[in-house]
Structures are given as C-alpha cells and as structure tokens.
Amino acid sequence: MTQKGNHPETLEWDLIRAFLAVVDTGSVTAAAEILGSSQPTLSRQIAALEQRVGSPLFERVGRGLNLTGLGEALVEPARQMQMAANSLSLAALGRNSETAGTVRLSASEMTATYVLPSILAELRRTHPEIQIEVAVTNRVENLLEREADIAVRHTQPGQGSLIARRIGAFRIGAFAHHDYLSRVGEPIEFAQPHRYDWLGLDRSDLLLRGFQRVGMKVDREFFAIRCDDQVALWQMVLSGMGIGFGTLFIAGQAPHLRQVLTEIEIPAMPVWVTAHRELKGSARIRTVFDALVQGLARVVDAR
C-alpha cells in the first residue's frame, strides 16, 4: 500500500465492497448490477483501489477477470472487513425504533408474482412509510451478508443466527387448461404419460426427482416444453400448452385450470419467513416480518 508518513492509507469500505463484488461475480458488469451501481462507477472504484495499493488486482482473461497475486492476498482481509461492516449495520438497524425506511425482501419467482402482491398491498396501506425492495430469485439469498433483510424460503435455513418461522406449506398439484383436456380427453392416464404434453424445468432436476419418487424414471426430453423461468412456464400452462405443476393456491386464481392426477401424492412445499436475529429489534423489520407471517398464514395449509 502507499504510505502517508508512518501510517498506511485508509481504504474506504465502498472500494472494498466493489472489489468483493467483482471477485464474486467475475465481471464488472455483473458486479455493478448486484450493487445497483453503474459499470463506469464500479470501474473507477476498482481503479482507485488499485491506485491505493499500488498494483493491479485483476487481469482480463477472455471475457472474464482473474485475480492477480495481490488480489488473491486481499480477498480474506476484505471478507473480514465485510463481516465487520455487516455486523455493525445489523447492530445499528436492530436498535432502530423508527418504522420509516426501506426493507429488502427476497422471494422466489412464483411467490413474488402470485402470492406477495396482495400481502404487500395491505402492508403499504397500513404502513406507507415503509418502502419495500423485492429481490425476485429462486436462489437462497444470503441474509448474513445483507443481500436481503427478510426472505420467504421453501427450505429450512440452517444458520443459527437466523430467526425462521415455518408458516405452513403450499400443496402442489398437476394442472391443465380445460381446452387442453378437451383435446386429449379425460381422465389423464398416468400409466400412459407419453400421450400427453408435459411442461417442466430445463436445467433443474427438481421435477425429474419428483417423477422418480412416484416410480417413473424420466429424462428431460420427457417434457415437451422446458423452461427454468417458473412464471413463464406457468403462463404456458395457463395457455393450454400441456400439463404443468403448481400450488393449489396459485392455480385457484385461474378458473380455466383443472387439477388432474389427484390420485398422485405430491409433497407439499413448506413456507418459511426468515430474518437475521439482530434485525428483529428493528421496528420496521419486525413490522414487515409480522405482516408476511400473517399474510402467508391466510393462504398456506397449516401443516
């Protein structure tokens, strides 16, 4: 690092945060998107950090970036600084008695699209001073690193520093548009699956494993339509393209859908509301957490 007298020059947290975002994503463009910044701004921050330490931290390889030797050496100290900054932020927010401000919420595509809007609309009516950011993602947001303040998850979190409340479970079923059923005939015969158009996931093996649990070994080519965007896939079910899978609650919002294969037992999808333990002391986090618990409790099965 460059020196001022006998003391190393202080590195601002914003520069370290930019550095770690590029490390984690492998590109300035992706890092800027995650941080809600612009590519030129992030590039300037990386350049400023490299000037401070006196040497390049990344080298371009093809379309990506690799760490230099110095960059590798800085990752662990930067992680420790990140943890300290997160702890400081959590401690301060956890003692905030003000409800005004922003809460960042993470939820899956289907939950964010078809379940949360009515809950958040009610929250906005009762607490207009709270602003909500919704991160729509099927991956598990890292609450410990403050990627979200609260997450609606479908698996139980394992970190002891998190508060997790199980609300219940969404029952899952197979559904098809009545126009599709009028073309292929009813009832749907599960013993002859290749007579039908199945709508499934592309890269994910979630449905493949589900079919295996009921004694059917199928591969991805079994599905006539494949898409990992679950909202887009559900719209295809609504358009009458074939048989797809969804929750009974969401399917209940579409009067032209009919549940099929009701004799097949499909495991329910649990619903958890999760937040960092420190955040429960924050008035606005607690308000949003409680609103989610109450709203979800009205639409899930209590089991």
pLDDT tens-digit map of 219-248: 889 999 999 999 999 999 999 999 999 999
C-alpha angle with apex 253: 247 to 258, nearest 5 degrees?
A: 70
Given a contact cutoff of 8 angstroms between Cβ atoms, the answer to whether 135 and 147 are in contact is yes
Using the Cα atoms of residue 106, residue 109, residue 111 and residue 112 in order, give the sign of their dihedral: positive
pLDDT for the residue numbered 296: 95
Q: Using CA atoms, how far apart are residues 295 and 29, in angstroms rounded to an integer?
A: 37
What would the DSSP string read from start to end of 77-139? HHHHHHHHHHHHHHHHHTT-----EEEEEEE-HHHHHHTHHHHHHHHHHH-TTEEEEEEE-SS
User: Across residues 108-115, what is the average pLDDT?
Assistant: 94
Structure tokens belonging to residue 148: 């979200």
pLDDT tens per residue across span 9-48: 456 878 888 888 888 888 888 888 777 788 888 888 899 8
Question: Which is more confident, 201 or 159?
Answer: 201
* Per-residue pLDDT tens over the stretch 241-278: 999 999 999 999 999 999 999 988 888 999 999 888 76
Q: Check residue 3 and give its pLDDT.
A: 40
Start-to-end CA distance of the chain, whole Å, equals: 57
Nearest to 243 by CA among 263, 253, 257, 264: 257
Tokens at residue 31, please?
């890092």
Judged against a pLDDT cut of 80, whether residue 206 lies above it is answered with yes
At 209, list the tokens: 């494993």
Q: How far apart are CA 31 and CA 16, in angstroms?
A: 12
Torsion of CA 93, 96, 99, 102, to 10 degrees: -20
The rounded distance, in Å, linking the Cα atoms of 284 and 52 is 38
**123-148 pLDDT, tens per residue?**
999 999 999 999 888 766 565 556 78
* Alpha-carbon span 126 to 245, nearest angstrom: 34
Percent of the chain with pLDDT over 90: 40
**Residue 210's pLDDT band (cuts 50, 70, 90):** confident
Which of 1-10, 98-107, 154-163 is the least confident region? Answer: 1-10
SS3 147: coil
Q: What's the mean pLDDT when you consider all of the chain?
A: 84
If you compute the radius of gyration of the chain from its CA atoms, what whole number of angstroms results?
A: 24
